[in-house]
Chains A and B, each alone.
Chain A
């Protein structure tokens, strides 16, 4: 009986489907749209971290006058943020889901979603024109700005598991990632020459912002805010990039400029303060890449950044008093890194980070500020195939200070796994 049933089931199925196929051939199933499924990929980024400092200590560390809360998990605006590789032990940085396809003959649409334990973030979601004439390309939605070299690259494409210090300190872990539009023009020249401009909302956590800043000590809900909301869009970015080939070596310089309003409200933080003003960010990047053969190369990549913030700083002295002072910050730094790809399987690299200028003027008087922040990194990567990568990275960080203003020496080992499945798009140069 059992045997008969076992034979009968596949037989029945065959008959059923054979019959269905004759009645309704696949190409005539009018609601069939599976051919229109966009390219889908999923990238897992996870790490194991060992630091010589405890997680709850490190969340309070700062680069005095430059940035605070850039390492470890912290709460802000009522929800918790976790930077990449935040905790000692195991970290699930994200599962990155990418969807990408042509919309019609005129546009493509790309979406990048970061699934983390804190929820889902739309990392990027933008349309891109494909049919504009004269070498023009328009992109709109939420996008990573093309400012500098590394800003437009996703985390999993970086050569190190963490962002260069200047990006982290000046712009935060996501860099300039904004709602807005981008227009790029490639010149019709022998040499690659690209000009780009972006109009963005201006809502960066570290440097830009548009919202009004309310006085935390005000009792009247209709009281005038400390700083009025800025007109949005409020951030403008422009850049020029070029590239010259000298034999098997490509030299790629770029200059970038960003300017926007700053409205940074940290009244909810442990040290309540806020800032309102105008900010400029200048960038110069240079990448030199030499290929020995199809798989082996040496890359020297550097970026220099200078930010100039002019405005008013507000501090909440106690429950009833808010003080304000005019404040100007001129801060610069750079990173420089060398990566050697030995073959398809192995890569190694070193990186040096420095913020060397930290000029802060308060009410016209220059403040005595610490102005030397450094980090040293080294990494080695193993790629079993094109779609998986394991990276061991060591950081020696002397850039951070504790609440008592003492310089900290932080040593970090990270073992990072980066695994991709699906129709993953090829990366740019």
Chain B
């Protein structure tokens, strides 16, 4: 009702949407939740792609060209694909130095920051693990940063963004309680991953990642390392392999055949699996996948 009232009162000003480009679908969902009717979000990456290797197709340049603002994950997750799009978009509004640019990683304390920055250790992220949105406790913090950002570039609708944020945070708080309850019995459970992209999820719920199938970040599985993982699984009995949707599960299947370990497909973003179409659904799926026997 309130919204309708607004529309009637300010028809011309309201039709002027902010056209916001965002790197990943989860940022799009957050921006939509906070921005409501005042923003149009354009998501650059697809949820079923490897977030490190998004294809910088020219159609994305056209999207950058027309954006009023850009929100990215940061923490070097986009280092391999976003800079060329920024360079070729020819749009000063999406430059990292512009007030219409938001780097979400700057508001989050990153974990797993490597003590030694050397590519001999694989394709590491010097600033720390950038997959922080997979801790559901970080979601309200990210929503707040986006609300503050929207208010800073569109002061006229500040109160609306604040109200949307309050609504969202309240609802999310209930979700957090529910997921905490569901996950509580799994504290201390050992898991194996392909790449440590669930580091924040695991930390939030006390799951313990004992091995990754790739020997080092960004280095594809090697036979020797696979044998080591098999040995480790036999010794430590982790519950399962939490596998992302974009790497081939071939090596994981081989390990399963040798050890009998379960493979659980874990979506990392909206659209990673067809059923995962909202932020709530993402964490519903993750928590269910881990607790379902």
A contact set with B: CB distance below 8 Å: 102, 105, 128, 130-133, 135-137, 184-194, 241-245, 250, 252, 289, 291, 293-295, 297, 343-345, 384-387, 421, 425-429
Contacts and interface: CB of A to CB of B under 8 A. Distances in A.
B169 interface: no
A245 B84 contact: no
B225 interface: no
17 contacts: A128-B87, A130-B95, A132-B92, A137-B88, A186-B91, A191-B59, A192-B58, A192-B61, A194-B61, A243-B57, A244-B59, A294-B50, A294-B53, A385-B122, A386-B218, A425-B83, A427-B84
Contact of A345 (B49, B55, B88, B220): B220
Nearest to A250: B57
B58 A243 contact: yes
Contact of B119 (A133, A189, A387): A387
B115 interface: no
Interface residues of B, number: 35
Given A185-B90, A387-B119, A426-B83, A344 B55 contact: no
B97 A105 contact: yes
Nearest to B65: A186
Interface string B34-52: 0000000000000001100
Nearest to A191: B62
Contacts of B97: 102, 105
Contact of B220 (A102, A344, A428): A344
Contacts of A294: 49-50, 53-55, 246
Interface in B230-256: 246, 248
Nearest to B80: A426
Interface in B77-119: 79-84, 87-92, 95, 97, 119
A243 B85 CA distance: 14
B92 A133 contact: yes
A428 B62 CA distance: 14
B90 A291 contact: no
B90 A184 contact: yes
B62 A295 contact: no
Contacts of A191: 59, 62
A385 B246 contact: no
B84 A190 contact: no
Contacts of A187: 65
Given A345-B220, A429-B56, A132 B90 contact: yes
B92 A428 contact: no
B84 A428 contact: yes
A421 B119 CA distance: 9
B58 A252 contact: yes
Nearest to A185: B90
B240 to A, nearest CB: 23
A-B pairs with lowest CB-CB distance, top 7: A243-B58, A294-B50, A192-B58, A192-B62, A131-B92, A137-B90, A294-B53
B55 A429 contact: yes
Contacts of B59: 191-192, 243-245, 250
Contacts of A345: 220
Contact of B88 (A186, A250, A295, A297): A186
A295 B247 CA distance: 9
A386 B56 contact: no
B93 to A, nearest CB: 10
B123 interface: yes
Contacts of A136: 90
Given A132-B90, A137-B90, A291 B55 contact: yes
Nearest to A293: B246
B125 interface: no
B268 to A, nearest CB: 12
A301 to B, nearest CB: 14
A386 B123 contact: yes
B219 interface: yes
A102 B81 CA distance: 18
B66 interface: yes
B123 A385 contact: yes
Contacts of A385: 119, 122-123, 218-219
Contacts of A132: 90, 92
A198 B248 CA distance: 45
Contacts of B56: 426, 428-429
Contacts of A250: 57-59
Contacts of A130: 92, 95
Nearest to A242: B58
Nearest to B246: A294
A295 B214 CA distance: 15
Nearest to B54: A294
B218 A186 contact: no
A105 B101 CA distance: 14
A193 B83 contact: no
Interface string B149-173: 0000000000000000000000000
Nearest to B89: A186
B87 A429 contact: no
Contacts of A289: 57
Contacts of B119: 385, 387, 421
Interface string B176-193: 000000000000000000
A425 B83 CA distance: 8
Nearest to A429: B56
A426 B81 contact: yes
A343 B248 contact: yes
B47 to A, nearest CB: 12
Contacts of A252: 58
A177 B218 CA distance: 35
A245 B57 CA distance: 8
Given A130-B92, A426-B84, A429-B55, A186 B49 contact: no
A345 B92 CA distance: 37
Contacts of B62: 186, 189-193
Nearest to B248: A343
B58 to A, nearest CB: 3
Given A291-B55, A387-B119, A135 B65 contact: yes
A252 B62 CA distance: 13
Contacts of A131: 92, 95
Contacts of B218: 385-386
A293 B247 CA distance: 9
